[in-house]
Amino acid sequence: MTPLPPGATIGIVGGGQLGRMSAMAAARLGYRAHILTEEPQGPAAQVAAGTTIGPYDDPTTIAAFAACVDVVTFEFENVSAAGLDLLAAARPVHPSPAVLRLTQARVTEKSFINAAGVPTVAWLPVGSPEELAAAVAQLGLPAVLKTTRLGYDGRGQAMLRTMADLAPAYERLSPKPLILEAFVDFACEISVIIARGQDGQMAVFDAVENRHRHHILDLTLAPAPITPDLAAQAQAIAREIAVAIGLVGLLAVEMFVDASGHILVNELAPRPHNSGHWTIDACPASQFEMHIRAVAGLPLPPATRHSDAVMKNLVGPEATALWPDILATPGLIPHLYGKAEARAGRKMGHVTRLFARGALPGQFGLSAALGVLGGES
Ligand code: AMP
């Protein structure tokens, strides 16, 4: 495809903070961002050149949106693939609806990853209490029972520790299709974000470590404090998956490093990812710029990192209460998403702190470096 010329309009399906930061990156490259969202004054709509407001799978809304844009991408996965199919009939959509479909359900996603020769945790589909009992007999306990679709930030999951946990967990999560995963006693969780252009060119960010709190991402450490060999393996896995899935756009690959140092892929997200927010401040081209470049058919620069970084999410009212202190702390780079209401568990913004390459501190130094935010993890 010939590169999208400056002044062209990039349609983004979804109106949250990922759309907001993608729209800001698009604007910097001379594009207009047009958001399809159900929320007129949401984080993305506030910074975009235009919006279409309506349901994501309503044909009239989709036609109105398509008429305003030159190319389409999306910022979250809970959009209907059927809606994207309608859009794809009118405009180029990157990543493709097929990529979205594959990653929307854990069973198709894990089958695909395993077929590409990449290890995941051991898993089995579960469609009935009998299948759950059989899956537990095969995978053992502890194990994690999950809904196959629409789970995020730990929602739609149950930890099974004893046989007594099976029935209540099945009761709570069914009748949705379920998957049972062996529990991984992981050494750490890491992720790699990769961009792939329409010509197959790829740019791969460094592997980072992700630490969660109450199932929500709390801290990202860039680079991950793992061996260079493991970091290279993680990047190689991201490349293999991007090629196998036929990616055009951005893909986040979430992985576990298990106790014996093996990498297991957990999840794929074909969009910008919370664990890539550090790239805005620590890389010449952020994940959002890479996303827009890939979608617009521009060349992808190398995903180099000029600094080490720690990213801390600002979640809920307790974190936003610290905003004045954050602004008054030298070295903390603040990002707020423009959400009106700071509900518990809601991602309101994030903060990045940069370090010279190779100077990312250990645990004690990290807390000190985060100032008022350092005591929370
Ligand atoms: P997910 O929705 O699959 O990303 O899971 C959310 C979080 O739950 C992960 O980031 C892990 O911290 C934890 N988790 C999910 N699956 C497993 C598993 N099979 N073993 C251990 N921890 C898990």
Q: What is the mean pLDDT of the chain?
A: 95
Whether 115 maps to a domain, the answer reads no
Total domains in the fold of the chain: 3
CATH number for the domain including 16?
A: 3.40.50.20
Is residue 154 located within the same domain as residue 260? no
What would the DSSP string read from start to end of 347-377? EEEEEEEEE-TT----HHHHHHHTGGGTT--
Write down the pLDDT at residue 377.
Answer: 46
Write down the pLDDT at residue 154.
Answer: 62
Is residue 231 located within the same domain as residue 325? yes
State which ligand 1 atom lies nearest to the alpha carbon of 144. Answer: 19
Residue 186 CA, ligand 1 centroid: distance in Å: 10
Which of 152, 182, 212 terminates a domain? The answer is 182
Answer whether residue 150 shows pLDDT above 90.
Answer: no
Task: Say if residues 62 and 39 touch (Cβ distance below 8 Å).
Answer: no
* pLDDT tens, residue by residue, 321-374: 999 999 999 999 999 999 999 999 999 999 999 999 999 998 889 999 998 998
Whether 99 maps to a domain, the answer reads no
Q: Which of 266, 267, 313 to mutate to test the pocket of ligand 1 (most atoms within 8 A of CB)?
A: 266
- Helices 106-115 and 228-245 cross at an angle (nearest 10°) of 110
Is residue 57 located within the same domain as residue 175? no
Is residue 83 located within the same domain as residue 16? yes
Is residue 229 located within the same domain as residue 354? yes
Range(s) of the domain holding residue 168:
122-182
Is residue 170 located within the same domain as residue 35? no
Residue 181 CA, ligand 1 centroid: distance in Å: 9
Is residue 194 located within the same domain as residue 295? yes
Is residue 239 located within the same domain as residue 341? yes
Which residue ranges have their beta carbon within 6 Å of ligand 1? 121, 144, 151, 154, 181, 183-184, 189, 212, 215, 254, 266-267
* pLDDT tens, residue by residue, 74-127: 998 888 888 899 999 999 999 999 999 999 999 999 999 999 999 999 999 999
Residue 101 CA, ligand 1 centroid: distance in Å: 21
Ligand 1: which residue has its CA nearest to atom 18? 183
Write down the pLDDT at residue 152.
Answer: 58
Whether 111 maps to a domain, the answer reads no
CATH number for the domain including 165?
A: 3.30.1490.20
Write down the pLDDT at residue 221.
Answer: 98
State which ligand 1 atom lies nearest to the alpha carbon of 254. Answer: 4
Is residue 277 located within the same domain as residue 178? no
| Helical segments of 9-58, H only | 17-28
Cβ contacts of 296 within 8 Å, gap of 6 or more:
3, 4, 8, 10, 29, 31, 71
Residue 107 CA, ligand 1 centroid: distance in Å: 15
Query: What values do phi and psi take at 239, rounded to 5?
Result: -60, -45
State which ligand 1 atom lies nearest to the alpha carbon of 210. Answer: 10
Residue 159 CA, ligand 1 centroid: distance in Å: 10
Write down the pLDDT at residue 22.
Answer: 98
What would the DSSP string read from start to end of 127-195? -SHHHHHHHHHHH-SSEEEEESBS--TTTTEEEE-SGGGHHHHHHHHTTS-EEEEEPP--SEEEEEEEE
Establish whether the linkage from the previous residue to 175 is cis, with ω within 30° of 0: yes
Is residue 27 located within the same domain as residue 130? no
State which ligand 1 atom lies nearest to the alpha carbon of 155. Answer: 2
Instruction: Give the residue among 280, 283, 287 at the shortest CA–CA distance from 352.
Output: 280
Write down the pLDDT at residue 176.
Answer: 82
Global pTM value: 0.96
Ligand 1: which residue has its CA nearest to atom 17? 183
Q: Which pLDDT band, with edges at 50, 70 and 90, does 151 fall under? A: low
Residue 184 CA, ligand 1 centroid: distance in Å: 8
Whether 77 maps to a domain, the answer reads yes
**Percentage of the chain lying above the pLDDT 70 cut:** 98
Whether 348 maps to a domain, the answer reads yes
Is residue 213 located within the same domain as residue 246? yes
Whether 113 maps to a domain, the answer reads no
Is residue 154 located within the same domain as residue 300? no
Cβ contacts of 372 within 8 Å, gap of 6 or more:
322, 325, 326, 329
State which ligand 1 atom lies nearest to the alpha carbon of 266. Answer: 3
Write down the pLDDT at residue 86.
Answer: 93
Interval 164-169 mean pLDDT: 96
State which ligand 1 atom lies nearest to the alpha carbon of 151. Answer: 2
Which of 23-27, 146-150, 235-239 is least confident?
Answer: 146-150
* pLDDT tens, residue by residue, 174-197: 888 999 999 999 999 999 999 999
Answer whether residue 1 shows pLDDT above 80.
Answer: no
Residue 187 CA, ligand 1 centroid: distance in Å: 13
Ligand 1: which residue has its CA nearest to atom 6? 154
Residue 250 CA, ligand 1 centroid: distance in Å: 22
Interval 11-21 mean pLDDT: 98
d(CA 28, CA 8): 13
Q: Which of 123, 144, 150, 189 to mutate to test the pocket of ligand 1 (most atoms within 8 A of CB)?
A: 144
Which of 133, 163, 182 terminates a domain? The answer is 182
Instruction: Quote helix, strand, coil % in the chain, to nearest 5.
Output: 35, 25, 40
In DSSP terms, 126 is beta-bridged to 178
d(CA 267, CA 287): 18
Q: Strand (E) positions, 14-142?
A: 32-37, 50-53, 71-74, 123-126
Answer whether residue 310 shows pLDDT above 90.
Answer: yes
